[in-house]
Amino acid sequence: MRAALGVLGVALMLASGCAQKDWIDRTLVTENVAGAWTGSFGEGNCRREVRLDLQQDGSKVTGLAIFLGPSDIFSVSGVPFPIQGSVAGDVFTFKSSPRGTASGEVTVSGDDMSGQILWGCGNSRMSLHRVDSLSRTGSPPR
């Protein structure tokens, strides 16, 4: 009986250790999003081309978003607006500041990121590619 309880105790400790590792992995900064990114989101009349110029300090990300193309009620072309966010693992979460009228969550894979953005036209798929690797900084601390 004691041996069975001992084995059960060790198994529970090992299982809880695995759960902790997943939590730690999600909070580590593993991707660097610094630099210039271009891409698009939305469909039809709500499709937009965008450029993000991002700076990263650890997990904290700040920068500017600039819509490219014609202006309309949802976006003004060529006028930058600030964004802020964070990176946890390979997920970059951001919102426009200070009003928070747009927000998104994308998965980063090297020089590409894709995911969802919520803005004036609703929830849309977003896809971006890093175009300026010169402004990339070294890898963030892990």
- Judged by average pLDDT, the poorest of 3-7, 69-73, 124-128 is 3-7
Quick one: 92 and 24 in the same domain?
no
> Would 115 be classed as within a structural domain?
yes
**Is residue 17 over pLDDT 60?**
no
Quick one: 130 and 102 in the same domain?
yes
pLDDT reported for residue 21: 47
Q: Provide the whole-model pTM.
A: 0.71
Residue 82 contacts residue 61 (beta carbons within 8 Å): no
106-116 b/e (C-beta count within 10 Å ≥ 16 → b): bebeeeebebe
Quick one: 49 and 108 in the same domain?
yes
Quick one: 76 and 117 in the same domain?
yes
**Is residue 115 over pLDDT 60?**
yes
Quick one: 24 and 1 in the same domain?
yes
Number of domains present in the structure of the chain: 2
Question: Closest by alpha carbon to 99, among 88, 87, 84, 86?
Answer: 84
CA gyration radius, the chain: 20
Instruction: Tell me which H or E stretch contains 142.
Output: none
Quick one: 13 and 71 in the same domain?
no
Quick one: 44 and 106 in the same domain?
yes
**Is residue 120 over pLDDT 70?**
yes
> Would 50 be classed as within a structural domain?
yes
> Would 107 be classed as within a structural domain?
yes
> Would 140 be classed as within a structural domain?
no
Phi first, then psi: what are they for 66, rounded to 5°? -130, 120
Which domain, by its residues, includes 57? 35-135
Question: Closest by alpha carbon to 74, among 113, 44, 52, 53?
Answer: 44
Quick one: 11 and 46 in the same domain?
no
3-state helix, strand and coil shares in percent for the chain, rounded to the nearest 5: 25, 50, 30
